[in-house]
Amino acid sequence: MPQLLTLTSLPLFPLGTLLFPGGTLTLRVFEVRYLDMVRKCRQAGAPFGVVGLTAGHEVRRPAAPEEQFHDAGTLATIEQMHTPQPGLITLVCRGAERFRITRKSHLKHGLWVADVEQLPGDPLVPIPADLQRLADMLAQVLGNLSQRHPDAAPQAQPAAQQLQDCGWVANRWCELLPVPLALKQRLMMLDNPLVRLELVGDVLERTGIAL
């Protein structure tokens, strides 16, 4: 078994959304604590960590309590970075490995950093015949989104091998589903991608999306 990666002082970006492995995330960065962080990550080719908020706000507010967030998240690598105006950076990030926080600290200027350990990636599990409809539906949904929003970052034309992978299909559905963040977090942390896809199918049926 390969040695899992350990990172120290990983900068964290607590958000009201999740980044799944293999997914994309667009961000508008304007807080001082994050502007310097993303510039340094870009220059060093280093990732930062995206974690889901459990309390608090994405943007700091006067006299507001500290942010609270899940103890696991996803490494984000910066694929595109633009500065449309002073004090504003726009990013397109790609989700890499999941991680679990082993120690965290809050720096005086407001940035969270953590020591983390990488979690194993999803094994490649082919989609069984009884769940193939979920992959077919996803391809249709992504195609429709691409036509409506041609400049958007999300996956537009997935490769055939991606649509045959339980983990990839489940993760893309998790990004799209209108379900609570806590449920998305639990789905992301499942080690078995087939179980994750089966649960996604259950959610789709309960919400009436998959008929």
Q: What is the CATH number of the domain that holds 97?
A: 2.30.130.40
Are residues 87 and 148 part of one domain? no
pLDDT score for 1: 43
- What is the Cα 50 distance to its own chain's centre? 7
How would residue 114 be classed by pLDDT, with cut points 50, 70 and 90? Answer: very high
Helix (H) or strand (E) holding 91, with range, is strand 88-106
Read off the tokens for 99. Answer: 């991680």
pLDDT tens digit sequence for 69-105: 999 999 999 999 999 999 999 999 999 999 999 999 9
Q: Which residue matches tokens 């379900």?
A: 179
Alpha carbon distance 84, 105 (integer Å): 31
**Cα distances (Å, whole numbers) of residue 25 to 15, 93, 96, 133, 181:** 11, 5, 11, 26, 15
Instruction: Give a yes or no: residue 184 inside a domain.
Output: yes
Name the residue range of residue 164's domain. Answer: 129-206
Indicate whether 152 pLDDT > 80.
Answer: no
Q: Which residue matches tokens 């899940």?
A: 70
**Total number of domains in the chain:** 2
Burial tier of 164 (Cβ tally within 10 Å: 0-12, 13-18, 19+): middle
Average pLDDT over residues 182-198: 96
Point out the domain boundary residue: 56, 85, 118: 118
How would residue 211 be classed by pLDDT, with cut points 50, 70 and 90? Answer: very low
167: helix, strand or coil: helix
pLDDT score for 64: 67
Q: In whole numbers, what is the pLDDT of the chain averaged over residues?
A: 89
* Torsion sign over Cα 143, 144, 145, 147: positive
pLDDT score for 153: 47
- The reply to whether the predicted model has a pTM over 0.85 is yes
